[in-house]
Amino acid sequence: MKILVTGGAGFIGSAVIRHIVNNTGDSVINLDKLTYAGNLQSLDSVSTSDRYTFEQVDICQRTELDRLLLEHEPDAVMHLAAESHVDRSIDGPDAFILTNVVGTYTLLESVRQYWQGLSGERKANFRFHHVSTDEVYGDLEGPDELFQETTPYAPSSPYSASKASSDHLVRAWYRTYGLPILITNCSNNYGPFHFPEKLIPLIILNALECKPLPVYGNGRQIRDWLYVEDHARALYAVVTQGEVGETYNVGGHNEKENIDVVHALCDLLDQLRPLKGEQPGSYRALVTYVKDRPGHDQRYAIDATKIQKSLGWVPQESFETGIRKTVEWYLENLEWCRAVQDGSYQRERLGASVKE
């Protein structure tokens, strides 16, 4: 197969591309605008492969999308390009509406035109896979409730509302035009190459600099944590084996309160990179509670039964194994982190070009 991945320089997108190049015989076209969250250094390990091509394109640019599809003739599109940080969506919703809603619409129309021009097996086998989030469901009340594929949408933030909008557009293009779509909704991802504004890398890097470790409210918000490489395997299973028109929830079976995640990170750092001094103490002493986020959802939890039963996917990492791998990766890749923190990684976008 030849798979077009939008947002392929992002956290999850780059994990998907690394998985495809390293574990399959498929080819990948990486389409990315290279916003602040797009980092081509996350793809250094596969960038020289003859099965990898990069295109710097904005999904809101219809003409460029049309050109790219006709030129590369993909067999599937995996749509991961999105603005995804809740705090940023609260401070400035405009970019989220533009990229997540208008961008998804523009991409759908371009892909629909391309798909309608295909014939025979190529048309029958084509897939459009839209990657979304469990945040579209809002939050859960009871301790035993789980998000299922049929859970009603109740988004709380501008980010989750924009993703819910894009999900509805994708389903409408399936119902109205017959575009062969698949949708996945995933829980919180973590792992290597995660942009440092997100909770886990932020805590790790702040701790290493002995800075405060900010925790919203009382820290009792619950999330289901999914190791990013497990998610990449799930997404590939869906695009290659999933049933057209279906939605699959992807979760890690790892519900944790935010404060417990922070404490787990502190404890691992105490082992792997202990504080120095006569009385070093623990990184836990750096935990600082800050004013809660507006409209903060209390609990997310995924029921991943459907993808397990129908596609045979199960996460390989527990939270304990995944979080240790994550901390070890950051300790071993501080240069990547520094390049993100000082902005030098962004210079790559100035020289980004199509790979010959």
Active site residues: 134-135, 159
Which whole-number Å values give the CA distances from 204 to 83, 119, 286, in the listed order? Answer: 23, 51, 11
Task: Using CB atoms within 10 Å of the CB of residue 279, give its burial: 0 to 12 exposed, 13 to 18 middle, 19+ buried.
Answer: exposed
Q: How many whole angstroms separate alpha carbon 39 and alpha carbon 43?
A: 8
- DSSP secondary structure letters along 149-181: TTPPP---SHHHHHHHHHHHHHHHHHHHH---E
Spatial CA neighbour of 291 closest among 84, 87, 85, 83:
87
Q: How many whole angstroms separate alpha carbon 218 and alpha carbon 258?
A: 9
User: Mapping DSSP to helix (H, G, I), strand (E, B) and coil, where does residue 70 land?
Assistant: helix
Contact, 8 vs 30, CB < 8 A?
Answer: yes
Contact, 90 vs 294, CB < 8 A?
Answer: yes
Contact, 182 vs 248, CB < 8 A?
Answer: yes
Instruction: Provide φ and ψ at 296, rounded to 5°.
Output: -65, 120
Task: Using CB atoms within 10 Å of the CB of residue 344, give its burial: 0 to 12 exposed, 13 to 18 middle, 19+ buried.
Answer: exposed
Other Cβ atoms closer than 10 A to 140: 18
- Bridge partners (DSSP) listed for residue 287: 213
At residue 141's C-alpha, the angle toward residues 137 and 143, to 5°, is 115
